[in-house]
Structure 1
């Protein structure tokens, strides 16, 4: 399938906008009009733990946010609880959630597929939902079921592409020097300050000086936390 062959191109994206453009092309080629990607970061400050990338109409997104539907959205609830993909339509929005469905359907977001995953390296939960305005029926259900493997594969590539860009941005913001990066690398493989000083041909005091700067720049309390933080954002590789 041409869509599947094109998915690795997402990994060469340099910006989030380029990732979004690639996702838009993919979902359109599959037969959907809209997509939504939600990323959760449990270690981010309160109020910044959810990142959403979508081509949903702006007024639809703003109203969803204003009414805080994320806590009552049956599709989001499913993706938080299970990695099994779901086909969603009107029947999944009972009670008060019916209002959310009717508003979404009025914008052409009536039926779709959603799936979730958690990356082994980045430890962040992600969901992706794709949709169009078609009315649900047996024939459409069959087609949606056929698209599930491609949507899951799209989710994996989108997750990795976004994570790579965020790693580069985070590393640039922190601004470690080359020597600080070397110290972190060797600490990550278990070297002591004395051993690192021998490897880098400098004094142990100099190594400890670099680590004080590293700890300050990464906003952590000690060397072990610095290594963990650097690994989590891709400053160093395991």
Structure 2
């Protein structure tokens, strides 16, 4: 991972007070990465949050016409933690979309949303869904180059920003989590950009033991992915980057 980018985001988040400031900090980070058409959602029992850097006219149009009912991101991307290409540049890959859904994507393209990538935090289920549609005016080939270079940083930033947004309005879980020294060390090296075998070599243990420590850390933190575990550990002050 690119440590400087993550450190800059963390530093900015520490001084951000309240949801608007946290959102502006996150949006500025993604904009600097080239994502100038981002949409964030966190929906579930007792909450219904949609935030975006899309044009105001488009958001008003989206709300007034209740376009969430045909939004392919809500219907398909929110069903999987795997990243999914979004926007008109990826339209040919999604043959399952019906005419209304295709029309929706073409309408979004008129606002400049050309290509994007989903980054789900929580897939659709009893607790709702949460995640990001990281969109851009960039063409697809440029967006994919950005993800190839900075994918780890972008995913960690998405998870961390979600945690800070939840904290800012009191929605984050407050249960005390205690990680073992080995679990903390594995997360530390993961945040530094090391892969499983590299962490094992650095710590003098087997790769399968690293996997065990990381799995235990995810369980304790209530995380579904490594990125989410890192974000929650950092947001809770359990890990310094």
SS of residue paired to 2:170:
helix
Matched, 1:97 2:95: no
Q: Any residues of structure 2 matched to 1:50-199 within 5 Å, and which?
A: 50-90=48-88, 91=91, 92=94, 94-118=98-122, 125-137=129-141, 140-167=143-170
SS of residue paired to 2:112:
coil
Q: Could you tell which deviates more after superposition, 145-154 or 32-41?
A: 145-154
Please identify the structure whose Cα radius of gyration is greater.
Answer: 1
> What CA deviation, in whole Å up to 9, does each residue of 1:1-35 have, x standing for no partner?
33222222325421111112111221122112121
Higher RCO structure, 1 or 2 (CA under 8 Å, sep 6+): 2
8 Å CA contact 1:85–1:115 kept in 2: the answer is yes
SS of residue paired to 1:83:
coil
Matched, 1:29 2:32: yes
Kindly tell me: are residues 124 and 155 of structure 1, through their superposed partners in 2, closer, same or farther at Cα, counting changes over 3 Å? Answer: farther
Kindly tell me: are residues 165 and 149 of structure 1, through their superposed partners in 2, closer, same or farther at Cα, counting changes over 3 Å? Answer: same
Where in structure 1 do 4 or more consecutive aligned residues deviate above 6 Å? none
Structure 1 CA distance for aligned equivalents of residues 150 and 59 of structure 2: 25
Structure 2 CA distance for aligned equivalents of residues 86 and 134 of structure 1: 16
Matched, 1:41 2:44: yes
1:207 maps to which residue? none
Length-normalised TM-score, structure 1: 0.59
Structure 2 CA distance for aligned equivalents of residues 124 and 75 of structure 1: 14
Structure 1 CA distance for aligned equivalents of residues 39 and 162 of structure 2: 12
Q: How many residue pairs get matched? A: 160
Structure 1 CA distance for aligned equivalents of residues 128 and 168 of structure 2: 14
**Which blocks of at least 5 consecutive residues in structure 2 are unaligned?**
172-241
Kindly tell me: are residues 124 and 89 of structure 1, through their superposed partners in 2, closer, same or farther at Cα, counting changes over 3 Å? Answer: closer
> What CA deviation, in whole Å up to 9, does each residue of 1:161-206 have, x standing for no partner?
11111118xxxxxxxxxxxxxxxxxxxxxxxxxxxxxxxxxxxxxx
2:19 maps to which residue? 16
8 Å CA contact 2:86–2:116 kept in 1: the answer is yes
Structure 1 CA distance for aligned equivalents of residues 59 and 7 of structure 2: 31
Length-normalised TM-score, structure 2: 0.58
1:5 maps to which residue? 7
CA RMSD of aligned residues (A): 2.6
Deviation at 1:124, TM superposition (A): 6.2
**Which blocks of at least 5 consecutive residues in structure 1 are unaligned?**
169-238
Structure 2 CA distance for aligned equivalents of residues 159 and 11 of structure 1: 14
